[in-house]
């Protein structure tokens, strides 16, 4: 079975923080690959704040091009909206039975997982890899053996920071993958 990390996100836009985390998970946490699952609409976010779905997917494809352990996925584009993680993981498991999927989420999302659809099913059925975020203290009950806090480096870069910097005309070339810098 291929160990595949599912990294869902708006990637609005994708940046080096996303890529560095995924690289860490492949090299230090036993994942064979990471799929960047571009989400058309997170139920907890306002849809109007998102760049076009296909454009975000194209940015993601270009940002990871040439690295064999990364894959851009628009799998959720064909699922009913809004997307719920448990339904997506179930659909992925059906479509790709030779993959063992682990969900990659931030500490901030872990602390609000009780607001997600069927969180008990999610944490019992799938492995969760939680990456640290500054200011979020993660406690994982011992009764949840599928949930792991990884010791990835904390990189405090957000897509909203990127968008604001671009809007303000800042030169942020080292925050974005070279392949997409001129597309934004």
DSSP string, 136-184: ------TT-TTEEE--PPP----HHHHHHHHHTT---GGGS-GGGGGG-
What sign has the CA pseudo-torsion 42, 46, 47, 49? Answer: negative
What are the distances in angstroms from CA 56 to CA 11, 13, 45, 53, 148?
A: 6, 6, 16, 5, 29
- The reply to whether the predicted model has a pTM over 0.85 is yes
Q: What does the pLDDT look like over 83-94, one tens digit per residue?
A: 899 999 999 999
How high is the pLDDT of residue 42? Answer: 60
Q: What does the pLDDT look like over 102-147, one tens digit per residue?
A: 999 999 999 999 999 999 999 999 999 999 999 999 999 999 999 9
């Amino acid at each position: 079975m291929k160990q595949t990390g599912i990294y869902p996100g708006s990637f609005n836009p994708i940046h080096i923080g996303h890529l560095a985390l995924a690289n860490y998970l492949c090299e230090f946490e036993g994942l064979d690959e990471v799929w960047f699952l571009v989400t058309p609409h997170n139920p907890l976010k306002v849809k109007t704040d998102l760049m076009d779905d296909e454009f975000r997917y194209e940015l993601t494809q270009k940002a990871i091009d040439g690295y064999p352990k990364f894959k851009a996925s628009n799998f959720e584009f064909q699922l009913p909206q809004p997307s719920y993680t448990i339904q997506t993981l179930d659909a992925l498991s059906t479509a790709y039975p030779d993959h063992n999927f682990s969900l990659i989420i931030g500490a901030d999302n872990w602390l609000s997982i009780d607001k997600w659809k069927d969180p008990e099913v999610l944490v019992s059925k799938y492995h969760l890899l939680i990456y640290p975020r500054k200011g979020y203290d993660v406690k994982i009950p011992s009764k949840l053996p599928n949930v792991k806090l990884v010791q990835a480096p904390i990189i405090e870069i957000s897509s909203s920071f990127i968008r604001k910097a671009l809007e303000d005309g800042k030169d942020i070339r080292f925050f974005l993958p070279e392949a997409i810098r001129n597309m934004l």
